[in-house]
Amino acid sequence: MLKPSLHVLARHVSHRARGSATTNTSRIQKATTTLLIVGSSAAVATYFLLPDISRGAPTSDTKPISPSHFTPAELVSSTFASNGTKILTVAIPPELLPTERDLFAPIWSVFIKDDDIQVERPYTPLDGVDKDGNMKFWIKRYNHGEVSRWLHSKKVGETIEIRGPVRTWSWKDDTWDEIILISGGTGITPFYQLLRTVFSGNSFKGRITLLHSSRLPSELPPPDVLDPLLELARHNPDKFRLKLFVDSFGETKDQSFAGVEIHQSRIGKDAIWRAVHSASNFPSLRGLFSRDSDDSDRKILFLICGPEQMVGAIAGPYGRNYSQGPIGGVLQSLGYKSHQVWKL
């Protein structure tokens, strides 16, 4: 869509063309039509080439990291993971870490800038940031993703500029009894960050179920991501459950991963209903909740992160500019309300 000033320019050129057409020859009429096309094209080009505010943010190697400026970080590790993905680790000088540790409460992300074309995209550090300034990311390379392709091409020792932290969603202890996390592809990364933070302490009293979907078993998260989550599930059987789904097994005959059953189906109404109602997910609670238990006395939250088509099918499409939009999809059909759903 053209900016208002560009609409004015287009209308001005159009009026000039119509005025010339009423008084001049057809040759001049063609010329003015050409002028309209060239003028409008120039206006459109100007619109798309103008930098936005975030791209124009300054770079500082002396100030603590902040959403208001970019900070140079060194790429210290780059390893291939599952299909088309890499685990990347960047290091920020420890002295540039802010002292307010609550800035790193889950869920948060940083923007990474492609220096070549001055485009930025948000990415979620898996384990947050450690005391040495290290941030680890699981990033998929998309053919039409400028920043992801650029990141995959970077070599260890090169510099990457980041901006943040930026809060994606705010965690609060003792707010929910039941949390259902639903992810697809690399959409699992914010939930990894959340789970690792929540279970690093013992304050959470509720239950969390993570339903994760990939196209094929080979596209499931790599061991760097799945192994720590499986370990959390083993050590917290009454608080955390992980379930894996694939669209197809492809050529593989293995229907489990590290002892966890893989379900061949999309994450749909039945899987979500079972995640909420099946007390057998949590062994010590089998006598407290029946499969027909009433949800009205439980505070239930759904967090969804993944491809737009998946998010739309489960919770309804995003609104304008990736706002929450109204609830829809499977969760609406199950009777849940907007205040119980958050689309990351």
- Relative to beta strand 207-214, strand 240-246 is parallel
Give the number of other Cβ atoms within 10 Å of residue 229's Cβ: 22
Close Cβ partners of 166 (under 8 Å, ≥ 6 residues apart): 67, 108, 109, 110, 111, 122
Token code pair at residue 200:
């690093």
**Is 68:57 a contact under the CB 8 Å cutoff?**
yes
Q: Which residue's structure tokens are 């050590």?
A: 235
Residue 170 burial (10 A CB sphere; 0-12, 13-18, 19+) = exposed
Angle between helices 223-235 and 189-198 (to 10 degrees): 40
Q: Tell me the backbone φ, ψ of residue 215, rounded to 5 degrees.
A: -65, -45
Annotated binding site for FAD: 121-123, 140, 147-148, 189
**Is 162:71 a contact under the CB 8 Å cutoff?**
yes
Annotated binding site: 121-123, 140, 147-148, 189
- Relative to beta strand 71-80, strand 85-91 is antiparallel
